[in-house]
Amino acid sequence: MAVEGGSLKIAAMTTSSSSQNAAGASALPRIAVLATGGTIAGSAPDAANTAGYQAGVIGVAQLLAAVPGLDAVAQIHAEQVASVDSKDMSFALWTTLAQRVNALLADDDIDGVVITHGTDTLEETAYLLHLTVKSAKPVILTAAMRPASALSADGPLNLLNAVTVAASGAAAGQGVLVAFNNRMHCARDVAKISTYAVDAFQSPEIGALGWVQDGRVDFQRRALRPHTLDTPFAVVDDAAQWPQVDIVTSYAGVSRIAVDALVSAGVRGIVVAGTGNGSIHATLQQALADAAAQGVAVVRASRVGSGHVMHNGAAKDDALGFVSAGTLSPYKARVLLMLALAAGNTQKDALQRVFDTY
Ligand code: SIN
């Protein structure tokens, strides 16, 4: 092992088992596994403990060693990009990760990338990469709900399945995917829907793209919206230069204090997690209309967790200066709004086209 460029690199961790000859191993797809931390790399004091553990403490070599049969699926090149609890995901790490993924995929010696990540912000990172990776090669995120030290830890099988999907060839051109609990989800659609269950991810309303089991990868449908090579978006090189976009929620008795504070702080955008079809309490709606009138981009999403927010539906977007988020959750709407603002889209109509397209 050697440390290169701040990341732990297990140089050409091509694993040929005794049952596999060298020629067979070298014919396998070459998959880069980038570890970032999370529960999949978590450790607890005892095996029955699945809640009181520390995330992101086990290294990528140990994660890979816990997956029997991986060497029959792919040649693995492994890197430790970070070791974080994903609740602490940062702009700097997003930029590092996206740039590393793009660099690896530009290398003819790499056929695909798997990223191990915490479940808590996995859907945000997945959508960010879906919009900013510039390659048709597979990029698969995976994670775990139980720490690596737990009885029935789910990480090893999730990791094996993620590498299987990346190596299969079937994932090429499908954008960034999440392989979790035997299902494959589009990064745009997927959401964490349970705080504790092993089946913690769904694509609400729309459903998974397919499934992976016992080495078989079966896609049932494809994502239709443009992604990866077909977007104009890129991560912001300088972490300090990401446009500031925050999220507020509408609820009974909500005040305008948070919106007014955000506007005073100079935010570029606000996503509102509205009730129902993105409806907004009158007090908050007035505060957001005032923000929009001052040039802040206001995007209307829903706190419901599934369904879509119709333009000029529950709020008169055109009159109020709002953009509607469609099927994007507030968290993904924030990701898209930041990328769109960074790409120079500041006018409401241009932003609405972005949300109608991606
Ligand atoms: C994290 O998101 O890093 C911790 C929680 C998890 O991975 O399940």
Q: 38 in ligand 1 pocket by Cβ < 6 Å? A: yes
Distance CA 316, CA 319 (A): 6
29-57 mean pLDDT: 96
CATH number at residue 251: 3.40.50.40
Query: What pLDDT, in 10s, does the model give residues 143-193?
Result: 999 999 999 999 999 999 999 999 999 999 999 999 999 999 999 999 999
- Residue 121 CA: nearest ligand 1 atom is 2
Higher pLDDT, 308 or 16: 308
Helix (H, G, I), strand (E, B) or coil at 182: coil
Amino acid 314: pLDDT = 83
Residue 7 confidence (pLDDT) above 60? no
Distance CA 129, CA 257 (A): 33
77 and 193 both lie in a single domain = yes
| Ligand 1 mean position, distance from CA 114 (Å) | 17
- The DSSP output letter for 275 is B
| Ligand 1 mean position, distance from CA 141 (Å) | 13
329-334 mean pLDDT: 98
222 and 255 both lie in a single domain = no
% of the chain beyond a pLDDT of 70:
93
Its sign, for the CA torsion 337, 342, 343, 347, is positive
68 and 179 both lie in a single domain = yes
**Residue 109 counted as domain residue:** yes
Q: What is the pTM of this model?
A: 0.94
Amino acid 23: pLDDT = 60
**Residue 238 counted as domain residue:** no
Please name the residue that has the structure tokens 């008795």: 253
Higher pLDDT, 356 or 24: 356
147 and 269 both lie in a single domain = no
| Ligand 1 mean position, distance from CA 250 (Å) | 27
9-14 mean pLDDT: 38
Mutation to probe ligand 1, out of 81, 85, 123 (largest number of atoms < 8 A from CB): 85
39 and 113 both lie in a single domain = yes
**Residue 236 counted as domain residue:** no
Residues annotated in a binding site for substrate? 86, 119-120
219 and 257 both lie in a single domain = no
Q: Which residues share a beta bridge with 180?
A: 183
- DSSP one-letter string for 87-103: GG--HHHHHHHHHHHHH
Catalytic residues: 39, 119
Amino acid 22: pLDDT = 55
Amino acid 350: pLDDT = 97
**Residue 235 counted as domain residue:** no
Q: 179 in ligand 1 pocket by Cβ < 6 Å? A: no
Helix (H, G, I), strand (E, B) or coil at 188: coil
277-299 mean pLDDT: 98
Amino acid 1: pLDDT = 29
Mutation to probe ligand 1, out of 49, 87, 159 (largest number of atoms < 8 A from CB): 87
Would you state the structure tokens that stand for residue 121, as one six-digit string? Answer: 């912000």
Query: What pLDDT, in 10s, does the model give residues 15-42?
Result: 333 344 456 667 999 999 999 999 999 9
Domain residues for the domain of 81 are: 2-230
% of the chain beyond a pLDDT of 90:
91
Q: 145 in ligand 1 pocket by Cβ < 6 Å? A: yes
Q: Tell me whether strands 297-302 and 30-37 are parallel, antiparallel or unpaired.
A: unpaired
222 and 305 both lie in a single domain = no
**Residue 237 counted as domain residue:** no
Residue 10 confidence (pLDDT) above 60? no
Query: How many domains does the chain contain in total?
Result: 2
Q: Tell me whether strands 139-142 and 112-116 are parallel, antiparallel or unpaired.
A: parallel
Q: 85 in ligand 1 pocket by Cβ < 6 Å? A: yes
267 and 222 both lie in a single domain = no
Query: What pLDDT, in 10s, does the model give residues 200-241?
Result: 999 999 999 999 999 999 999 999 999 999 999 999 999 899
221 and 262 both lie in a single domain = no
251 and 223 both lie in a single domain = no
Query: Across all residues in the chain, what is the average pLDDT?
Result: 93
Amino acid 26: pLDDT = 76
Q: 118 in ligand 1 pocket by Cβ < 6 Å? A: yes
Beta carbons of 263 and 238 less than 8 angstroms apart: no
Amino acid 250: pLDDT = 98
Residue 140 confidence (pLDDT) above 60? yes
Amino acid 315: pLDDT = 85
121 and 197 both lie in a single domain = yes
Residue 70 confidence (pLDDT) above 70? yes
